[in-house]
Chain A
Amino acid sequence: SQTIHQWPATLVQPVGSPLSLECTVEGTSNPNLYWYRQAAGRGLQLLFYSVGIGQISSEVPQNLSASRPQDRQFILSSKKLLLSDSGFYLCAWSVNGGSEAFFGQGTRLTVV
């Protein structure tokens, strides 16, 4: 069966510090991978998606970047965090050509 791992679960970082959130998927090949963010009082906003290794599409211009160094690994990064980067980040995957998203447990990021 397929599983998705996302870490860390919670993170408190100072403004201006770097960020690295990691997500890995097991039990499937060539998945579509996604990073979503829920900011306070808002729904899930798609940040990045990837349909293959090294292929990253950004939905919203921002202070963040994403990379997919391996087929089942998706990393969300920032060189310098802003206060507005605080939120709940969710990694998800779907079957290539499918529509249902399967989510990780999420990371609660607080930038102070």
Chain B
Amino acid sequence: ILNVEQSPQSLHVQEGDSTNFTCSFPSSNFYALHWYRWETAKSPEALFVMTLNGDEKKKGRISATLNTKEGYSYLYIKGSQPEDSATYLCAFTGGSYIPTFGRGTSLIVHP
């Protein structure tokens, strides 16, 4: 069983704060790293896919970086808004092409 860790487990921030979370994964046999956003009562939806060491992706106020050599990825949210409240999941895919998910970071943004 692959070990994909996310930290922190939960995070409470004020509207306007910037925040970041971490995903760590095996540094060998890497294929892709996905970030998903999971809102309550909805299905997880993909935010980013990163495949190359040093990849950086950005969508609006949200961005992500990837370091495959040391096995971590960061997700950043700039100027958090209440609508950013969700659980953020990362998923590591290795040579088997089977996504292994972390436990997620639950973000709550207070107005």
State the A residues within 8 Å of B (CB). 32, 34, 36, 42-46, 49, 59, 90, 92, 94, 96-106
Contact = CB atoms under 8 A, between A and B. Distances in A.
Contact of A44 (B49, B97, B101): B101
Given A101-B34, A103-B43, A103-B44, A32 B101 contact: no
B43 A104 contact: yes
Given A43-B6, A100-B49, A101-B91, A32 B97 contact: yes
A105 B6 CA distance: 23
Contacts of A46: 98-101
A99 B97 contact: yes
B49 A36 contact: no
Chain B's interface: helix, strand, loop or mixed, by majority?
strand
A94 to B, nearest CB: 7
A42 to B, nearest CB: 6
9 contacts: A32-B97, A44-B101, A44-B104, A90-B43, A94-B97, A99-B93, A99-B99, A101-B44, A103-B43
When A and B form their complex, which 10 residue pairs have the shortest distance between CB atoms, in order from nearest? A43-B103, A99-B93, A103-B43, A99-B32, A44-B101, A43-B104, A101-B99, A103-B44, A100-B46, A43-B101
